[in-house]
Amino acid sequence: MLATELQPPARDAAERATAEPAAVRWLLIAVAGAFLALFLFLPLAAVFAQAFERGVAAYLAVFRDEAARAAIRLTLLTAAIAVPLNMLFGIAAAWAITKFEFRGKSVLTTLIDLPFAVSPVISGLIYVLLFGAQGWLGPWLAAHDIRIIFAVPGIVLATIFVTFPLVARELIPLMQAQGREEEEAAAVLGARGWQTFFRVTLPNIKWGLLYGLILCNARAMGEFGAVSVVSGHIRGLTNTLTLHVEILYNEYNFVGAFALASLLTALALVTLAVKSVVEWRVRRAAAHQEPAFVDG
């Protein structure tokens, strides 16, 4: 005690200047901890507890059900279409907004945020109004025997709409910070547009892009509201994972509902883990202004 008081390390002294009394610190940590336990860890544990309530065999049996398998397949298919499309759109939008000057740029920037601003249910309804039997294009689609609403295309469209800001919003600030000097340097050295993109732009944004894709994927697989409106809930055909969870729950099939929910929860945990790794690499790349790994 005496020894530490005689030789206080300089760093401790600096920390002490802004530190609260121990009691306040512990109280704050306890409040935050209790909140997390109540609203995050408890529900998380409850999902798995309910899923395994009747044992591992009952848990695994859920995944042998054809309707459940169809729901998982549909969710994977939806994400497999929505994520690459949004990647292309996100890169194109971020590229246009950060590297060029054009009329209506601020309008485009605002429009990208639109899916975040409107409720997912409204997003779904837009597609029903457009493509539904009573919608604008409904009669024409019916005449040509094209089904969009209450079918897979509608689900994919709604998912794309809801998730399309995620990649672009991740890339725009990053590309703004990087400026366009490197692209200009590439152009002066004779590089074509696509050479500049693949050799200069893409390597500089790859971690930000990956981060955006992870978020986009998580949202695509977890989307409920918009998909619910356009799906029609046809078991085995237009039920995504989230919709199937709801149906099973409403039928008092708790093990089934929570077993499928545990799948989505696991996805969330994996997303969080990957996100932390990517964030760490982005920070490191920014701090050293050097590549996180070297390719070619």
Partner 1 sequence: MSIEVRNVTKTFGTFTALRDVSLEVRTGELVALLGPSGSGKTTLLRIIAGLETPDRGTLLFHGEDATTRDVRERRVGFVFQHYALFRHMSVFENVAFGLRVMPRKVRPPPAGVRARVHRLLTLVQLDWLADRYPSQLSGGQRQRVALARALAVEPKVLLLDEPFGALDAKVRQELRRWLRRLHNEIHVTGVLVTHDQEEALEVADRVVVMNAGRIEQVGTPEEVFHRPASEFVLHFLGHVNVFHGRVEGDKALFGPVEVDYPNGSPTGSLEVRGFVRPHDLDLAAQPAHDALLEGSITRIHAAGPMVKIEVLSTDGELIHVETSQERYRAHAWAVGQRVYVRPREIKIFANGSRG
Q: Least Å distance between CB 102 and partner 1?
A: 14
Q: Which residues of 227-239 are buried (b: 16+ CB within 10 A; e: fewer)?
A: bbbbbbeeeeebb
Of 21 and 190, nearer to partner 1 (C-beta) is 190
Given the rule CB under 8 A, which of 14-22, 38-46, 144-152, 195-203 is the region that contacts partner 1? 195-203
Cβ pair 239, 71 in contact under 8 A: yes
Q: How far apart are the first and last CA of the chain?
A: 57
71 phi and psi, to 5 degrees?
-65, -45
Site for partner 1, residues 165 to 184, rule: CB under 8 A: 181-182, 184
Spatial distance between the Cα atoms of 223 and 149, rounded to a whole number of angstroms: 17
Other CB atoms within 10 Å distance of the CB of residue 25: 11
Among 185, 266, 270, 272, binds partner 1 (CB under 8 A): 185
Helix (H) or strand (E) holding 162: helix 152-163
Among 42, 45, 189, 269, binds partner 1 (CB under 8 A): 189
Among 119, 176, 195, 276, binds partner 1 (CB under 8 A): 195
If one asks whether residue 199 binds partner 1 (CB under 8 A), the answer comes out as yes
Of 99 and 147, nearer to partner 1 (C-beta) is 99
Site for partner 1, residues 38 to 57, rule: CB under 8 A: none
Site for partner 1, residues 230 to 289, rule: CB under 8 A: 288-289
Report the candidate in 240, 247, 285 with the shortest Cα–Cα distance to residue 267.
Answer: 240
Of 66 and 181, nearer to partner 1 (C-beta) is 181
Among 200, 210, 260, 263, binds partner 1 (CB under 8 A): 200
Q: Exposure of 142 by Cβ count < 10 A (0-12 exposed, 13-18 middle, 19+ buried)? A: exposed
Spatial distance between the Cα atoms of 73 and 65, rounded to a whole number of angstroms: 12
Among 68, 148, 174, 186, binds partner 1 (CB under 8 A): 186
If one asks whether residue 192 binds partner 1 (CB under 8 A), the answer comes out as yes
* Cα Rg of the chain (Å, integer): 25
Residues 130-169, one symbol each (x = binds partner 1 by CB under 8 A, - = not), give: ----------------------------------------
Residues that bind partner 1 (CB under 8 A): 181-182, 184-192, 195, 199-200, 203-204, 288-291, 294
